[in-house]
Chains A and B, each alone.
Chain A
Amino acid sequence: MVSINTVMIILLYGATFSGILALISSGFTLIFGVSRILNFAHGAFFMMGAYIGIYFVQQLNLDPILSSLISIILVGIFSIAAYITIIYPVIKNEVMTIIVTLALALLIEQVILLTYGEFGLSYPRLVAGTLTIGDVVIPMVRLTILAISILTILGLWIFIDRTRIGKEINAASQDPEGAILIGLNVNKIYAITIFVSAVLAALSGILYSQMYAANPFQILNSLILAFSIVILGGLGSVKGSIISSFIVGFIYIAVTTLIGARWSEFIALAIIIVILIVKPTGLFGVEE
């Protein structure tokens, strides 16, 4: 018999876990949807956000919030630099785009491993304490992170839907050649998109290491998680990614509490593969 408490745990912890997933995967989907770049370095931007922030807090004794902001901007700038130097030259070549971004991700992973080691590192908490909802205790930091995730995703939606640059991005994503014809600078749009996507990644990295810990292995782990979510949601659909983040997040926590932690990844992956067999384009994807 599943108790009310268990249900509450699944709902509360599932929602907060899903929020982080949505942040990670929406950035990955955004850059793909706009530019058709499969950015395998997304997970690296994610962890860079955490490690750079930790560096500023620990080495320069800066305030955690200020450090986070600096870190997010630095990762954004880094992503543009990476776009110009290594992605742009091979952008026409699907295979090479995957390979250079993957190589960049692994390069960053190795540098982190050599400088910070294999064990996790904690990001100083922005919020402390716990809250009791019903009978279930939940750390404040989780709820804060859920709130930040929701606000950020709303912000992203307003940016794309309401701002001029957002509309240009939207236009470029739907018809790159048409966008060039009406005089849009597609290259600039791609650079801005990768900046936004990297900023989302860095932010989610910082939030992630608040809740869990920064760890070099998360570069590939988060990437695989993002892949699963994006496949489930449909490639290129930001809406699909956000919805499937919540599906995966709830499945994960439900399996952890009801069946056992060791099964959570296995079952989440298996469900995604089954869905893929039934509907190969994912829940919201369209056939190319």
Chain B
Amino acid sequence: MTESEKQVSRRDFLKLAAAAGVAFVVGAGAGYYAGSQKKPEVITKTVPGTPPTSPTPPPTSPTPTKSEVVIGVIAPMATKQGMVQRNAAELAIREINEAGGVLGMPVRLVWGDTKLNPDVAVSEFRRLVTVEKADFMTGGFSSGIMNAMMEPMAELKIPFLADASSPGHPAKVHEEYDKYKYWFRITQNNGATFAWDLADMFDMLDEKGYDVSHIYIIRDEHIWTDAVMSYLQPELDKRGITVAKDVKVGRGYTEYEPLLVEANDMGIQVVVPILAIAGTGDVLAKQWANLKLRLLLAGHDLAALDLGFYEATGGAAEGYIFLADGGVVNTAPPTDMCKQFIQNYTAQYGHPPEAHQGFGAYDAVYLFKKVVEMAHDDGVENPFDPDVVVQYLEKFNPDNPINLTRTIAFYPPGDKNKFDHDLVWGDNYVRNWISQWQNGKQYVIRGKIKNADMIEPPWF
């Protein structure tokens, strides 16, 4: 092998390299020329309402060729958060098709898997829009992936009712409206709203006679918890609550016992987890229940939201107080449609929606149907035009909410908190309900849809 390479003299190599270079440039040039020649053709072929692939699209106009409506779901399909979105959208689409479709056209579901990788997410997003001709997208999960997907969304101009938790996304809509206006958040999980619900949780604990003057925070080492903290701090100041210690933990962190022991030594009564990325809320609950210290565990933990959490922790979750982000706890559906959806979903898939993102995806499909029909009724020439869809979605503002599985309204552009196109937060809209694990079930223990009283951990 080594000998063979010695035989190639430098000059010959260069000759070949030069030949290769020339051949390549010719080929590439031909390709580029052909490619640029092809572009107008691509546009004329575009299904009306589907954003064309060119960055400077001509206005789309309706043609009689539109025969179906395509809805794309994009999410990490190996996770519950992804599967539930696909299932929920599928269910909504089936129901809509059985009831006659959208504007008389059948609806087709297409889906892509982000694999939680930004490159995959972006190419799947593009595939769904340009090959499958999706009219509209829903899905998401995980802020970093969402950041990456917002770029093809802006380039391809496609309405996107999304799930992700960073306040950075609506801020983009706020700062570059024309570019990012196609983005709406359909789940209530802007990290910042957790702060308001946490503050309410402390009020509740205070009313019940627990000492919340000092709290011990254990949170993800991640941007989303910084946003929570920046909104939480003023609320704590207002209530005279001191953060005795603020511990940041990384992905996969498991040593909670020394922290709980320390909190107990400091005379703390309330330990506040703010966890999602760590992914080890189960370990926290287990170590907490095993140590049996006089500590309440009350905060926000994505793991605790999981329906299998109680079993996974061997019942250690009993008494764990958490925020149900997304606005629905299965035992306490806030609307009739929600009750119906949980029933239908359970009938179809054998279990209730396995993550809150399902409510978002289900609502997204119905919302899209709704705005397209509204635009059509108003006599808009092309109700599928992305700009029209955005304009009609914006009609659901705090003064004009719509009841789906939750009461949906979006903050209008120019929001003072930079929450543009985010779900409106509040008792009459969507909240991250204060909930608790009791006897293997999740109950809401405060607010408008409360369905159980708070209990103490078994060893208190």
Contacts and interface: CB of A to CB of B under 8 A. Distances in A.
Direct contact of A and B (CB under 8 A): yes
Contact of A119 (B250, B287, B312): B312
Given A117-B308, A120-B283, A135-B265, A261 B290 contact: no
A119 B279 contact: yes
B255 A120 contact: no
B148 to A, nearest CB: 20
A56 interface: no
Interface in A235-257: 252-253, 256-257
A136 B253 contact: no
Chain B interface size band reads 35 or more
B252 A217 contact: yes
Contacts of B249: 261-262
A122 B314 contact: yes
A240 B280 CA distance: 31
A216 to B, nearest CB: 11
Contacts of A135: 265
Given A117-B80, A135-B265, A253-B255, A260 B248 contact: yes
Contact of B282 (A119, A130, A137, A221): A119
Contact of A118 (B279, B290, B292, B314): B279
Interface residues of A, number: 39
Interface string B428-458: 0000000000000000000000000000000
Contacts of B255: 13, 17, 252-253, 256, 261, 264
B259 interface: yes
Contact of A122 (B78, B265, B282): B282
B248, B257, B262: residue with the most chain A Cβ atoms closer than 10 Å: B257
Interface of A: 5-6, 9, 13, 17, 113-114, 117-122, 124-125, 128, 130, 135-139, 141-142, 212-213, 215, 217-218, 221, 252-253, 256-257, 260-262, 264-265
Given A215-B280, A217-B279, 14 more contacts: A13-B258, A114-B78, A117-B308, A119-B303, A120-B279, A121-B282, A122-B316, A130-B292, A137-B293, A139-B287, A139-B291, A213-B312, A257-B262, A265-B250
20 contacts: A9-B262, A117-B79, A118-B78, A118-B79, A119-B279, A119-B306, A119-B309, A120-B280, A128-B290, A130-B292, A137-B264, A213-B282, A217-B252, A218-B252, A253-B255, A256-B259, A261-B218, A261-B255, A262-B248, A264-B255
